[in-house]
Each structure stands twice: as structure tokens, then as C-alpha cells.
A and B are shown apart, each in its own frame.
Chain A
Amino acid sequence: MIEQAPALILLVPFFVSIFVALLGNRFQGICFPLSVLSLIGSVAASVTTLGRVINEGTIRYRLGGWEPPMGIEFRIDALNALVAVAVSGVGLLAAIYSKRAVLAETPDKVSQYYTLFLLLITGLLGMVITGDAFNLYVLLEVSALTSYALIAMGPKRATLAAYKYVIIGTIGASFYLLGVGYLYIKTGSLNMFDIHEQLIARDIFDSPAILVAFIVITVGVWIKMAFFPLHAWLPNSYAYAPTTSSAILGPLMTKVMIYVMIRLTFTVFGSDFAFIQLDWSDIIVWMSVVAILAGSISALAQTDLRKMLSFLIIAEVGYMVGGVWLADDMGLVGSIYHIIADAFMTLCVFLFAGIIFVKTGKRDITALDGLFTKMPLTMVGLLVGAFSLIGIPPTAGFFSKWYLIQGGVASGHWEYVIALLISSLINAVLFFRIIEIAYFGVKPAEGHGHHDSDTHESGPNEASFSMLFPLLATAAALLVIGLYNQDIVAIISSFVSQFNFGVIGI
């Protein structure tokens, strides 16, 4: 079965989603265990695949047994194997979390919810592992449709946000489709690697059509990832969606789109085209600087917890886009590493927000009053996530910033470095505001005599295990990703080293 592991990554959740749809209505109880089991399978498959990629190099999996330009293939190298692990891992943790949240938020549509949830993950995984530009579009739409629905299943305000998302998301996807069409018209191929070969073979890099294709695809992907001026759909969608939806969309949707951007920029167009021929990196890095700052500052203005986190996502997207466009080894390594790290960080904080919402029914940060006393373990989870977002060692967030800043320094983009630092500081302000509220809200009872009454005993009211476990597991993952960043970076470097940038980092 190891041969088939690449396909199983997404087939397992896919099949199970259908079973959930078929059986879920009658036996509501099976939805949750089935989903979790399938995602465990998916994680196992993606880890196996990653292991194979490390040992054997790029894996090519031909669907339908057809030779690549005719048929569709999965082409899995270090980059997407890694991202696939992250996606399935985040999916699994979010699924575990969903147990109570779904029952609390969408009690009458459990089976639909899980079907869509699994299909979303299927779509995201499919986007990550596919090697075909058009197939990517189809899976993009699978994940888009599911995410529209997952958001619209939320309360009143979510519906309008979902509507906006439908419109803007469709524009983004259509732009992408259009760009693929341009590429197809010029190269006659849809396979990403083949397109690149054709571009070289026909030597049409300076054709305006390719340029337009590049612009259109990039803009389309940017819309989908909510890169700053194109971000309008994101905050409301994520803030008002059911908590499980935002716990899965927040970390994954944007990150996968960043992966898509990296994949298209490097594999389809090639780094020579993107960075040497176009030489736009200055402009785009500046745009990302604006994105980082705008995201962070808007986050400061929010009192709604999840809305604040949504704006942070926008800032984080800026990190990654900027990191890629630094045109520096280290910047790219940093961006890819940040995809992984940020997926878990965002998951961590969104899970936290979800727990708070389900527990208290409030979305405001004032709901956090005295939480250190009431839910100490939950707060521990948040602390790790927050430290990671701020960039305090040894959490994963620190190291991604480390690499990104290193890239910024090496390529001389000081404005990016400064923006990154400012954003870290703003994150610090944001999270310490939360921590402060949680810490000061209720003063624990004063000690009496020698029998100190202790904070931890004064009636903690923890979230249930199924919610707490993913949160703490994510927090642990953040630490592990941080401590073993060397190994992850080694994997990433094997991808990055294919491209020789002008500036050589470390």
C-alpha cells in the first residue's frame, strides 16, 4: 500500500466524506469517529509519503496510469509533502475539536457539516499534491464551495460574509482559470512541469501572454489568500463562521494558497522569470510590508477575538508573500517554514477562540475575564500560540521570523525586516492585552493563615477533553516544530536549493 500512499492522502477523507453523507443522517453518532479516523489515515499516508520523498526524492503518481501530459499526475516533492503533512495534521486536530463545537453550533446538520468538512480537507490536500494546473482549479473550487457553505452555516452575520466570499472567491478562482487558459493557449499543456518545459522549449518567456498569465494567476491567488488590498472578504467570514469552520479555514485556506503561489511561481514560471526577468520583488515586498502593517494595525482595533485573529492572518499572509518575494534563499525557506508554523499557530489561537465561544457564548475579548483561574490549561495552550505569533523562542513562530528576517537582511530589504518587527510587537500588545484580561479579571481568593487557597483549586472549569486535547496538542506541535526546525528546514532546503537565487544566503 505504500505505493499508493500519495493517493490515499486524500482518498481516505474523500471516501469517508461520502459515507458520512450517506449514513450520517441515520446514525449521527458515527460522523465524528469516522471523520477522525479518516484523518488519522490521511496523516499516516502523508507522513509515509513525506518519508518516501525524503529518501527517494520526488514521487510521481500517475492517475489512471497515463503518462503525465496526457493524464493527471501527483507530483510530490519535499515542498508539498511537507505541506500535506501540515494540512492533514491541522485537519485532524480541528476534527477532534469539532466534536462538541459542531453539536453546539449546528446541531441539526451534523452529517452535512462533517461531509463538507472532510471534503474541504480533501480539496485542500488535493491542491497540495496535484501536479496539474487545471486539476488544481477543480480542487480549488471543491475547497471553495465547501468553505462557502461552512461559513454560511454560521449565524446571521456569517451569511452575508459568506456571500461576499462567494463573489470574491469566484473572481479569484476565475482569474486563476483564466491564467491557466493563457498558459494553455501558449504552451498547449496543463501539467505544471510540462508547462515549464514548454515555456523553455518555446522560449516564450517574454511573450505578453505569459506575462498576463502570470499577473492574472498571481492576482487570483492573492485574492484567494487575502493578500492585503484583496483581503476584504476574510475578516468577517472567519470571525462569524462556526468555530470549527474558522479553526480549519483560518489556518489552512490561506496557507494552501501560499503554497499554490510558491508552486506556480517556481515550478510553472520558474524563478528566473519571476525574479530576474520581471524584477518586481521590490514592489511586491513593499506591498507585503503594507499588508503586514495594515493587518496588524487593523487587528489592534478589534475587540472581537476572532476578528482580531483574522486580521492577524492577513498580516501573516504578508509575511509569507514578502518572504517569497525577497528573492532570497532564506526568505523562501522562511516562508515555507512559516506555512507550516503558521498553520499550527493559527490553529492554536482559533481553537482557543472556539473554546471560549462555545464555553461562554461570547466573542468579545472581555469574555476572557479571569480565565487563568477558570481554565488554566486552555490558557497554557493560548500562551504557546501567542508566544509563537509574537515570536518568542523556542516556539515555531520565532524560527520562522528568524529565517524571514535573515532573508530580509541578506537581500537588503530592511523595510520588510522593520515591518516584521513592528508586527511582532503589535502581536505582543494584542496578546498581552488578552493575557492581561485573563490574568487580572478575577482575583483569586486571598490566602487565609497557613492554608493558602490556591488559584488552581478555586473551581477551574476546563473545557472538555475533546476540545482541550487538540489545543494542547497544537501547542506541543508548535514547540516541536520550533525545536526541530533544523530538520524541517533541511527538507525545505532540498526544495529551495533547486533554484539558484542571485543572493546566496547561509
Chain B
Amino acid sequence: MSSESITSFTPVFASIVSLLAVLPIALLGKKPNLREGATFVAAFIKFGLVLSMLPAILAGKTIEYTIWEIVPNLEIAFRVDGLGMLFGLVASSLWIVTSLYSIGYMRGLKEHSQTRFFSFFAVSLSATIGVAFAANLFTLYLFYEMLSLATYPLVTHHQDKEARIGGRTYLTYLLSTSIGFVLPAMIFVYVKTGSSMDFSSDGFLNGHIGATEALILLLLFTFGFAKSGLMPFHSWLPGAMVAPTPVSALLHAVAVVKVGVFCILRVYTGVFGTDFLQSLDLGVVVAWIAAFTIVVSSLIALSQDNLKRRLAFSTVGQLSYIILGAALLSDRAVTGSMTHIAMHAVGKITLFMCAGAVFVATGKKYISQMDGLGKKMPITFAAFSIGALSVIGLPPAGGLISKFYLVTGAMDAGQSALLVIFLISTILNAAYLLPIGYRAFFPKDPKLAAEPFSWKNTQEASWQCITPLSVTAVLAVILFIKPQLLLQLAGLMVGGNG
């Protein structure tokens, strides 16, 4: 597909700009305002860089840059295409809002070690963009590991017992799967093909391996990128919810988990090639695993009282939508899953930020405590509702678009049985998300219900918290109205398969 490619340093710079920002952030540790200033500058530069590449990508070109060959035939290289662009845009734009939000959150709670927090946050973003723009499996793996490690201090930020356990689970799952599954799979691919493992639009494994090997590799890759939260390697994600909310919001709703599914998408489309997988009929296996994950995680989510944990399980389910879409291998389904990356990101980050805002303002973590809070925090809960709608896939939020594509894609692929799954899970989504907003505004307790609403009584968190979540809520709506950009980017990837 990529008939034209431009060599440019921009993708590299886009990735490392936040890495470079670590230096000023660490040095300005004593001056919080300047430090956060540095974060913002980096975030905007990053977003600008990503944005600057957009026209070229939309014109059907790719941007490439090779840093150096590190192992024979294998180089650290960057390449920006539609999928990478889509993901890069999502991650870098949401970094800006999250930065603002983290300032509000961290200062609101007077957290310790904020310098460390912001530094590693920047590193994580670097790794995320690195994954998005990786040109080959090796570079992808490199940044994938970097992300796992850089987020560890963020997850365990509180440094208490709970954080220790959560962090331990986090690393155990992520490292053991990546070293245990992805690394050998990758080396196997390397040995078998002897190639540079560059992603190409129709895969490069075709013709190199047989069906059994392909199945094993597929499973190794699918489970190996455990960041995608596919069951049974999902339990790190709820565990990681011990992290401060901005971390959960950006990393565990957007960056980290999306990196997982992004990697899987990349491997399916770029390494195996959809045609190859289709010819072997392997997608079905993964599709059913994903379907299983969707249903089970939704059921678990229902039973959670801790808001963040509920959201985490919701994320597990939603991620599996993306994998499911990819595994269906039909054009529409793949488009759907790509757009779902963005849609879910925007929706879920809103939800997480709301959860964080509630915690900052009231110190409440549990859903059962939130009855009637809507009156105290109307903006927050309004945003929450929009986010919830988006995640469920109801108008007027963007989630509908991607779900639509997924469902039609499933039909295209002839997997009508999976339609039932979509149906069930949507109901379940609604069941675990809608009541929260509903009860916040319309509490059961008549005493709370009777309380009159007045703007004066509101108890919102600081403006740094509220602004970002409003922005993302609005964004979710905008994406519903104008999803063209995303679809176009996704189309770039799918179109090539013809």
C-alpha cells in the first residue's frame, strides 16, 4: 500500500520529546509550576509533531526513519502509517488533558514524589508513541518493554502494601508474558523469515510457516501482549488500579492497554496479514477467546463496588472488542476495532477522570457511597454519563460508531453467533455503567433526593480536574458527530487489503 514514503526525523522526535522532557522535569523538581510547565510544553510539542504528520498520512504516504541497525537485518526504525497515526493522535492529545488533570489531582491530594510521577509519566508517553510509530516487530517490542517498566513506579506510586501487591501483579503479568511469549515468538519469526520483521500491510509471514506454527505463534503473540488484558492474563489491570487516578486514566484506559491491543492489531495486520490468517481460519480462535473475555469481564464488572475496579473490568471487556474486531478479519470489523481504540480511549478516560475527581473532592471510592453526589458535582457526573454512553455505544457518543462497524463486521465475517455476544455485552455495559450516573443524580434515599440542587452547593474538584474531563466528554460527542478522520485513518490500513 505504502507506495510513497517520506524519510523524516519527525516520528522519532515525536517519540523522544517526552523522554527529553524528563530532564527539565527532574531538574525543576523544586519549582512545581515550572516543572508542570515543562510537561505541558513537551505535551504540546508532541501533539504538534504528531499533528504535523497528519496531512502526509492522510495523503496515503508513510513517514519513515531508521535509527540504526542493531542486530543483522534488524533495525530500530520508525514508520508512521494510518493505524499508528490514529493511535499516536489519541495518545498525544489525551496526554495534554491528562497532564492538566494530574496537576489538579496530585496537588489536590498533596501526593508525594510528584517529580518522579511526572518524569515517569513522560517516559511512558515516549514509549507509547514509540510503539505507535514502530516500524518493525523489534522496535515495537523495545518500546513495549520500556512502557512496562516505566509505568511500574507510577502504578506503585503510593508505596504502601496495596501498591506493592498491585505492582507485583502488574509486573509479573506483563513481564512474564512479554519475555515468555513474545520474545520467543519474535525470535522464531526472525529465524524463520530472516527478514527485518518490518510491518507490511499484508504481512510477511505468509509462506514461511505452516498452519500449526502459525497457530502457536498467533496464540503466543495474542497472549504475549498481555497489556491488552485478554483473559486469562487480565488480572494485572484491576491490580494496577492502586495507581493514582491520572495514571489509571491515561495509562490504563488509553496508553498501556491500547498499546496491548495496538500490538495485537499490528501483529495481525502487519506480521501475519489478514489474508494469511483468513486462509488458515485462525481468527476464530482468538475471536472466541475475546468474546469470552467480554462477557466474563462485564459480569465481573457488575459485581464491583470500587468504581475504579469496575471501570478496570469494563476496560478489559472493551479491549476485547478491539481484539475481537481484529480477529474477525473482515474489513469493517478491523476498521471498527481501530476506531474503537480512539472511541473507547476518549470515553474511558472521561470515566476515570470523573472517578478521580470524585475522589479528590470527596474522598469517595465506592459506588455505593456516591448516591446523590450528582447534585454536588454536576459537571463531573454529566461528563461521566457521556463517557458511559460512549463506552456502551449509545448516542450521542462516539462509541456507537465503532460498535456499529464491529457489528456489521461480524456479520460480514459470517460470525452471527458473535452478534449475540455483542448484544449481551452491550446490555451488561449499560447495566454496570448507567446506574452510577443515574443514582448520582437520582438517589434512592429520599432525603438525598429531596435536597434541592443549587450551583452554590456544588463541591466540584479544582478546575484543573474539571476542565480535562469536560474536554474529553465533549470530544466523545464530537467523535460521534464527526468520526470521518478516524475512519479515514483506519481505512488507510484496511483499504490496502482490498
Direct contact of A and B (CB under 8 A): yes
The answer to the question of B447 belonging to the interface, with a C-beta cut-off of 8 Å to chain A, is no
The answer to whether B72 touches A506, judged by C-beta atoms less than 8 angstroms apart, is: yes
Quick one: closest A residue to B111, CB to CB? A447
Closest to A391 in B: B179
A450:B32 contact, CB within 8 angstroms: yes
The answer on a CB contact under 8 Å between B115 and A506 is: no
Knowing that A432-B168, A443-B159, A454-B29 touch, tell me 11 more A-B residue pairs with CB under 8 angstroms: A393-B146, A409-B184, A409-B188, A421-B179, A421-B184, A443-B112, A447-B113, A447-B114, A455-B112, A486-B69, A506-B190
Q: A387 to B113: give the CA distance in the assembly, Å.
A: 24
**Minimal beta-carbon separation of A410 from chain B (angstroms):** 5
Give Cα distance in the complex from A406 to B197, angstroms: 14
Cβ–Cβ < 8 Å partners of B194 in chain A:
506
Whether B70 lies near A394 (C-beta < 8 A) is yes
* A448 nearest CB across to chain B (Å): 7
B191 in the interface, Cβ–Cβ < 8 Å? yes
Q: Is A54 an interface residue (CB 8 A)?
A: no
Q: How far is the CA of A436 from the CA of B171 in the complex (A)?
A: 11
Chain B residues near A439 (CB, 8 Å)? 153, 156, 159
* B184 lies within 8 A of A405 (CB): yes
Whether a CB of chain B sits under 8 angstroms from the CB of A203 is no
- The reply on A483 being an interface residue by CB < 8 A is yes
Q: At the interface, yes or no: B439 with Cβ under 8 Å from chain A? A: no
Question: 5 closest Cβ contacts across the A-B interface?
Answer: A409-B191, A405-B187, A393-B142, A443-B159, A454-B29
Chain B interface residue count: which class? Answer: 35 or more
Q: Looking at the assembled complex, report how far the CB atom of A131 sits from the nearest CB atom of chain B, in whole angstroms.
A: 30
A residues with a Cβ closer than 8 A to B are 387, 390-394, 399, 401-403, 405-406, 409-410, 417, 421-422, 424-425, 428-429, 432, 436, 439-440, 443-450, 452-457, 483, 485-486, 489, 505-506
CA distance A393 to B145 in the complex (A): 7
Contacts of B146 in A (CB 8 A): 393
Say how far B178's CB is from chain A's closest CB, in angstroms.
Answer: 9
What are 10 inter-chain pairs, A to B, with CB distance below 8 A?
Answer: A402-B71, A405-B187, A417-B184, A429-B172, A432-B168, A440-B159, A447-B111, A452-B115, A454-B114, A457-B30
Given contacts A405-B187, A452-B114, A486-B72, A440 and B164 within 8 Å (CB-CB): yes
- A443 CA to B73 CA, complexed, in Å: 46
Do most interface residues of chain B lie in helix, strand or loop, or is the interface mixed? helix
Contacts of A393 in B (CB 8 A): 141-142, 145-146
Chain A residues near B365 (CB, 8 Å)?
none
Find the A residue at minimum CB distance from B139. A393
Query: A456 touching B115 by the CB < 8 A rule?
Result: yes
Q: Which A residues lie within 8 Å of B445 (CB)?
A: none
Residues of chain A within 8 A (CB-CB) of B107 are 450
C-alpha gap A483/B172 in the complex (Å): 26
Q: What residues of A have a CB within 8 angstroms of the CB of B180 in the complex?
A: 421-422, 425
Instruction: Report the minimal beta-carbon distance from A380 to chain B, rounded to whole angstroms.
Output: 12
Asked if residues A486 and B71 are in contact (CB atoms below 8 Å), the reply is yes
State whether A387 and B149 are in contact (beta carbons under 8 Å apart), knowing that A440-B156, A448-B110, A454-B30 are contacts in the complex. Answer: yes
- By a CB distance below 8 angstroms, the chain B residues around A387 are 149
Check if A436 sits within 8 Å of B179, measured CB to CB.
Answer: no
Is B4 engaged at the interface, CB distance under 8 Å to the other chain?
no
Do the beta carbons of A506 and B191 come within 8 Å of each other?
yes
Distance, CA A393 to CA B116, complexed state (A): 22
Chain A residues, CB < 8 A from B116: 454-455
**A422 nearest CB neighbor, chain B only:** B180
Name the B residues within 8 Å of A417 (CB-CB): 184, 187
Quick check: B168 and A405 within 8 Å, CB to CB?
no
Residue with the highest number of chain A CB atoms closer than 10 Å, among B107, B115, B183, B190: B183
A449-B114 Cα distance, complex, nearest whole Å: 12
Q: Main SS of chain A's interface residues?
A: helix
A372 to chain B, nearest CB (A): 9
Q: Is A406 in contact with B184, judged by CB distance below 8 angstroms? A: no
Residues from chain A with a CB closer than 8 A to the CB of B114 are 447, 452, 454
| B176 interface residue per 8 A CB criterion | yes
Let me know if B175 is at the binding interface, CB within 8 A.
yes
B203 within 8 A of A: no
Measured in the bound complex, the distance between the Cα atoms of B457 and A130 in whole Å is: 86
Q: Which residue of A lies closest to B153 (CB)?
A: A439
Bound CA span A37–B190, Å: 45
Chain B nearest CB, measured from A495 CB (Å): 16
| Cβ contacts under 8 Å, B73 to chain A | 506
What's the nearest-Cβ distance from chain B to residue A383, in Å?
9
In angstroms, Cα B179 to Cα A419, docked, is 12
| CB atoms of B113 and A454 under 8 A apart | yes
Q: Indicate whether B443 reaches chain A with its CB closer than 8 angstroms.
A: no
Determine the chain A residues whose CB is within 8 A of the CB of B163 once the complex forms: 440
Shortest Cβ distance from B161 into A: residue:
A440
Closest beta carbon of chain A to B217's beta carbon, Å: 12
| Contact assessment for B188 and A425 in the assembled complex, using a CB-CB cutoff below 8 Å | no
A392-B145, A393-B145, A439-B159 known; A444 and B187 CB under 8 Å?
A: no
* Contact call A421/B183, Cβ cutoff below 8 A: yes
Known interface pairs A402-B187, A425-B175. Does A489 touch B72 (Cβ–Cβ under 8 Å)? yes
Minimum CB–CB distance for B234 against chain A, Å: 19
Does B167 sit at the interface, judged by CB under 8 A?
A: yes
User: Cα distance A484–B164 when bound, in Å?
Assistant: 36
Q: Mark B186-202, 1 if CB is under 8 A from A, else 0.
A: 01101100100000000
Per the bound structure, the CA–CA distance linking A405 and B186 in Å amounts to: 10
Closest chain B CB from A344 CB (angstroms): 18
| A422 CA to B164 CA, complexed, in Å | 23
Residue contact B112 to A444, C-beta cutoff 8 Å: yes
B188 touches A486 (CB 8 A): no
Complex interface bits, B144-165 against A, C-beta within 8 A gives 1, otherwise 0: 0110010001001001100110
- Contacting A at CB under 8 A, from B114-160, are 114-116, 141-142, 145-146, 149, 153, 156, 159-160
**Contact A452-B184, Cβ < 8 Å, known A424-B179, A436-B168:** no
Is the Cβ of A436 less than 8 Å from the Cβ of B167?
yes
Which residues of the other chain, A, contact B70 by a CB distance below 8 angstroms? 394, 399, 483, 485-486
